């Protein structure tokens, strides 16, 4: 009897420090390649995965969604266990479930949430995990600057060169900025920046963070954000924040 083809959805978490980003690249270690190699080993045939998006080299994720279709009698929990037994230790599968035949992790996503971490102390526990900034940062200035970013706008000024989108209008639903408690060392101050949007341009989240941080460091006035966005000029926004402080926190579906 022929096995039925099923589509599976998996939620992945990873530390991106030692990877050259998500997408397969010749001669480089990537997260997509590691996952596809493991799936192909489990099922003894080439398995291609669909992804909720790409992350750059050094970026992390707590909930990155993938899907793959195959004919198998294995249950989702068995696939989950087999993948974690073989995957690189810096990649873990949180769960595997059966999805609808038409499910696509990127095109069905309604919004994404990115989280960025800043710290005022270069703790060994936060190496490649948070952006160390020795200067004092004013959160109220950052929040005021963020208020000019929320909404539906043309965000050309926050799009990095290298992957130009034809349509640069995106919707940022909210930006939350707050102090966080660091359980490993309560003496260390952490600031988190959470950005929720329906879509993001290339390096848009990191470019927003870099500009908000400059507002917090009093290098630019919060009100300048309005002029930067209206200009559609990447050169007027601040330098891109380092990749290692960024996390794909969640991908939300209907």
Residue with tokens 């004013």: 138
Under 8 Å between Cβ of 6 and 98? yes
**175 CB neighbour count, 10 Å cutoff:** 22
Under 8 Å between Cβ of 198 and 151? no
Instruction: Provide the CB-side half-sphere exposure for 115 (13 A, CA).
Output: 19
* 154 catalytic per annotation: no
Query: Residues 15, 56, 108, 120: which is the catalytic one?
Result: 56
Rounded to the nearest angstrom, the gap between the alpha carbon of residue 198 and the centroid of all alpha carbons in its chain is 13
Distance CA 117, CA 245 (A): 5
Distance CA 128, CA 37 (A): 26
Distance CA 251, CA 112 (A): 5
Q: Which of 184, 178, 196 is nearest to 137 (CA)?
A: 178
Counting every residue written for the chain, the total comes to 254
What residues act catalytically?
56
């Amino acid at each position: 009897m022929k096995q039925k083809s099923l589509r599976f959805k998996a939620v992945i978490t990873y530390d991106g420090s030692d990877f050259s980003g998500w997408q397969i690249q010749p001669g480089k270690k990537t997260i997509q390649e590691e996952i596809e190699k493991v799936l192909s080993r489990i099922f003894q045939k080439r398995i291609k995965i669909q992804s909720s998006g790409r992350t750059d080299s050094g970026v992390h994720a707590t909930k990155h969604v993938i899907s793959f279709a195959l004919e198998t009698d294995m249950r989702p929990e068995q696939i989950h266990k087999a993948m974690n037994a073989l995957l690189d230790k810096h990649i873990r599968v949180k769960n595997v479930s059966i999805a609808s035949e038409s499910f696509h992790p990127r095109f069905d996503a309604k919004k994404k949430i990115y989280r960025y971490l800043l710290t005022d102390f270069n703790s060994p526990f936060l190496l490649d995990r948070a952006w160390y900034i020795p200067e004092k940062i004013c959160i109220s200035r950052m929040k005021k600057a963020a208020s000019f970013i929320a909404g539906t706008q043309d965000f050309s000024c926050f799009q990095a060169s290298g992957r130009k989108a034809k349509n640069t209008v995106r919707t940022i639903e909210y930006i939350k900025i707050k102090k966080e408690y660091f359980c490993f060392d309560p003496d260390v101050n952490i600031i988190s920046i959470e950005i929720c949007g329906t879509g993001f341009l290339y390096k848009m989240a990191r470019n927003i963070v870099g500009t908000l941080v400059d507002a917090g460091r009093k290098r630019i006035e919060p009100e300048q954000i309005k002029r930067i966005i209206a200009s559609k000029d990447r050169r007027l926004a601040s330098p891109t924040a380092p990749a290692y402080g960024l996390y794909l926190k969640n991908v939300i579906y209907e």
